[in-house]
Amino acid sequence: MKKNYISNSSESSRMFRNPLLESLSKVHFSVPLIIYIPVILFFAYKALFAEEVSTLFFAGFFLLGILLWTVTEYFLHRYIFHFVPSSSWGLRLHFIFHGVHHDYPRDAKRLVMPPSASIPLAVGFYFLFDLVFSKAQLFSFFPGFVTGYLIYDMMHYAMHHYNFKSSLMKRVKQHHMLHHYSDPTKGYGVSSKLWDEIFRSDFIRK
């Protein structure tokens, strides 16, 4: 991503000449809610009524799913989205995936993950977790993981377009704004700065 250019425009810059590719790179912030809330409800139903797990069992694995999402979010952001290759085609790919967001951080259509990226990732994670968990565990864990993703997406959108009144949310927003406007090599956690503190990528407080 370009180091010295940050646009304050909320307009969407064009990335692709092809209209289909261009449309796939943009999404309204409500689309992930429309797609994934039914997914969460479906798996919760499967866990509680098909597998007949207890409420405590479901809640435990659901919360574990949210927690694992936060560390997944951190590592995806730090090591995948911020990996800068040396080849020209690699740099172009990097710009499409994440560089454009750093150059145009207020672009309202590129603040949540488009379904063209989130659905393959969700399917891939589901089958990965299927190798580890039993059906009862998976059906309790996966809706928590997806809930964590939705919290991340909605918080990310709000941080760029909403003025928080809560002192807690102001601190969370400040953490992400420092990542954008001060030092993009720190502050990789969006929904939580827990892993920045653990892995020493938090900002130094004066």
Q: Which domain does 94 fall in, by range? A: 30-164
Mark 122-141 as b/e (b = at least 16 C-beta within 10 Å).
beebeeebeeebeebbbbbb
Q: How far apart are CA 85 and CA 205, in angstroms?
A: 31
Q: Looking at the 3D structure of the chain, how many domains does it have? A: 1
Inside any domain, residue 68: yes
In a domain, 154, yes or no: yes
Residue 169: inside a domain, yes or no? no
Is 46 within a domain? yes
* Per-residue model confidence (pLDDT) at position 2: 45
CA distance 172 to 151: 13
CA–CA distance, 157 with 119 (Å, rounded to integer): 19
Low-confidence ranges of the chain (pLDDT < 70): 1-14, 96-97, 205-206
Structure tokens at 8: 């304050």
Q: What is this structure's pTM?
A: 0.89
Please report whether residue 178 resides in a domain: no
Q: What is the pLDDT of residues 189-201, one digit of tens each?
A: 998 899 999 999 9
**Within a domain: 200:** no
Nearest to 102 by CA among 7, 11, 202: 7
pLDDT, tens digit, for every residue of 84-131? 777 877 777 777 667 777 877 777 777 788 898 899 999 999 999 999
In a domain, 61, yes or no: yes
Tell me, yes or no, whether 8 lies in a domain: no
